[in-house]
Chain A
Amino acid sequence: MNTDFINQIGLNHYLILAALLFTMGMAGVLLRRNVIVLLMSIELMLNSVNLTFVAFSKYLGLLDGHIIVFFVMTIAAAEAAVGLALAVTIFKRFREVNIRFFEHLKG
């Protein structure tokens, strides 16, 4: 067992952690049927990307990554607001928030 991998925390550790979180979010989007859980999985993916940005920002010594993280956070909050508003309208009509009701959306 190589103890260097456990003791020396570097950029790769954060990148791999973020990649695993991203694939978890992707699995959630693919497998779950509840719209709200789907939105949560999307938040999970956005968060993992944020983690990647901040890790690169630290190890490359650039602060620009932090700015992108701000932008991503704002977009994520906006996306959650619109997605939940859509879920509310779907729930009003069908009394359920299953993703299959989104197949026949009308304006």
Chain B
Amino acid sequence: MTADAFLFWFLAIVTLGSGLSVILLSNPIYSALSLAMTMVGISALFVTLNAYFIAGVQLIVYAGAVMVLFVMVIMLFDLKSDTVAFAKGKFTGALKVASVGLLAGLVVAAIDLSKGLIGVKDGENHLVALGDMEATKSLGRILFQKYVFGFEALGVLLLVIAVGAVSLARSKGGTHEH
């Protein structure tokens, strides 16, 4: 087994395992920690895909900022293990699991059948010709030229979100004023 293959399988197992424990553990703080582990695994997968800048942003934004937000809110609530962590109802639960399994099977089968339709040869690597600095440089160029409108719109959206989140959180009496 080559080093590349070993790295991929190791990261895949880590990511899938911690992803499963996000939804299976009944204590929310363990879920949050597993989610942080998943984020780190996905960031490492980005590195294997030569997306170094995205991997750094993933670590800073997700494993840093978003996870701190989650953990802080969980600690604010002082949530112990959920008494009713999962939805009640055996039949509907089985139905949900079945539909999730069906979706997984459909997607995996579709990916497997579409092999060769996308026009990519397995193992071929285009971006590796660019050095890491070159890739980041052209990333910035695309972001500020081709997608500059989306970038600006995103800035406005972030301002709206910041104001909205603060006003939501400090409204007296929550959503049910009385």
| Chain A residues at the B interface, C-beta cutoff of 8 Å | 6-17, 19-28, 30-34, 36-37, 39-41, 43-44, 47, 50-51, 54-55, 57-61, 63-64, 66-67, 69-71, 73-78, 80-82, 84-93, 97-98, 104-107
Separation of A19 and B111 alpha carbons in the complex (Å):
9
Taking the closest CB of chain A, its distance from the CB of B116, in whole angstroms, is 10
Separation of A97 and B175 alpha carbons in the complex (Å):
13
Chain A's interface: helix, strand, loop or mixed, by majority? helix
| Chain B residues at the A interface, C-beta cutoff of 8 Å | 1-2, 4-5, 8-9, 12, 15-16, 19-20, 22-23, 28, 31-32, 35, 38-39, 42, 45-46, 49-51, 53-54, 57-58, 61-62, 65-66, 69-70, 73-74, 76-77, 79, 82, 84-87, 93, 96-97, 99-101, 103-104, 107-108, 111-112, 115, 118-120, 122-127, 135, 138-139, 142-143, 146-147, 150, 154, 157-158, 161-162, 164-166, 168-169, 171, 173-177
Interface pair A40/B168, CB less than 8 Å apart: no
A12 / chain B contacts, CB cutoff of 8 Å: 111-112, 115, 122
Separation of A17 and B118 alpha carbons in the complex (Å):
18
A77 / chain B contacts, CB cutoff of 8 Å: 61, 65-66
